[in-house]
């Protein structure tokens, strides 16, 4: 079924016994991130804004994702549901490792750019301290460094 309504900010839905708030998020994992908050259970469904154990993949903006993570951490919830990971988690458990990873990648890429390194050189060094902390690191990390480099070289 195709959507019939666009969410540009927030949209509250009363489903009878369930009241939910849909919230469009600024570009982070992608340019169309949306969260769903169940007001009754205080559960926030994060979709792909949260990866647990599996390395996150940057399809949007590393800078934007770090900003959204800070915003999400300030929201009051009983639990969050990640797009990748267990059925539910506490916010700090969901956001902490991702924030660390993305910060390390951003800092290392900025340092590589400052040192005049190429994008290929950055993929060989940036963020390697995170290697043993994530599943699928070898499959997706270089892609993340490439996306971060392409964004951060214009700062």
> For residue 79, what is the domain's CATH number?
3.60.15.10
Q: What is the model's pLDDT at position 4?
A: 87
pTM (2 d.p.): 0.95
Q: Provide the domain limits for residue 77.
A: 10-149
User: Beta strand 79-84 with 10-14: parallel, antiparallel or unpaired?
Assistant: unpaired
Q: Is residue 103 in a domain?
A: yes
pLDDT digits (tens, 9 = 90+) for 78-103: 999 999 999 999 999 999 999 999 99
**If the chain, 155 residues long, is cut into consecutive pieces of 10 residues, what is the mean pLDDT of each piece?**
88 94 97 96 97 97 98 97 96 97 98 98 98 97 98 96
Q: What is the model's pLDDT at position 30?
A: 97
Question: Does residue 150 contact residue 61 with C-beta atoms inside 8 Å?
Answer: no
Q: Is residue 71 in a domain?
A: yes
Q: How far apart are CA 67 and CA 132, in angstroms?
A: 25
Q: How many domains is the chain built from?
A: 1
Question: Does residue 55 contact residue 132 with C-beta atoms inside 8 Å?
Answer: no
Q: Is residue 3 in a domain?
A: no
Question: Does residue 129 contact residue 152 with C-beta atoms inside 8 Å?
Answer: no
Q: CA 132, 134, 135 angle in degrees (round to 5)?
A: 110
Q: Is residue 24 in a domain?
A: yes
Q: Is residue 78 in a domain?
A: yes
Q: Is residue 5 in a domain?
A: no
Q: Is residue 63 in a domain?
A: yes
Q: Is residue 18 in a domain?
A: yes
């Amino acid at each position: 079924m195709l959507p019939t309504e666009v969410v540009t900010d927030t949209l509250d839905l009363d489903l009878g016994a369930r009241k939910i708030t849909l919230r469009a998020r600024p570009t982070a994992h992608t340019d169309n991130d949306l969260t769903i908050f169940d007001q009754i259970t205080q559960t926030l469904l994060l979709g792909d804004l949260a990866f647990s154990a599996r390395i996150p993949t940057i399809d949007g903006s590393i800078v934007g994702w770090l900003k959204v993570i800070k915003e999400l951490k300030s929201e009051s919830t009983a639990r969050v549901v990640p797009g990748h990971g267990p059925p539910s988690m506490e916010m700090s458990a969901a956001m902490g490792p991702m924030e660390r990873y993305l910060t390390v990648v951003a800092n290392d890429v900025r340092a590589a750019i400052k040192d005049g390194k190429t994008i290929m050189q950055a993929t060989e060094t940036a963020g390697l301290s995170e290697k043993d902390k994530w599943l699928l690191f070898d499959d997706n990390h270089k892609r993340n460094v490439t996306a971060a480099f392409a964004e951060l070289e214009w700062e």
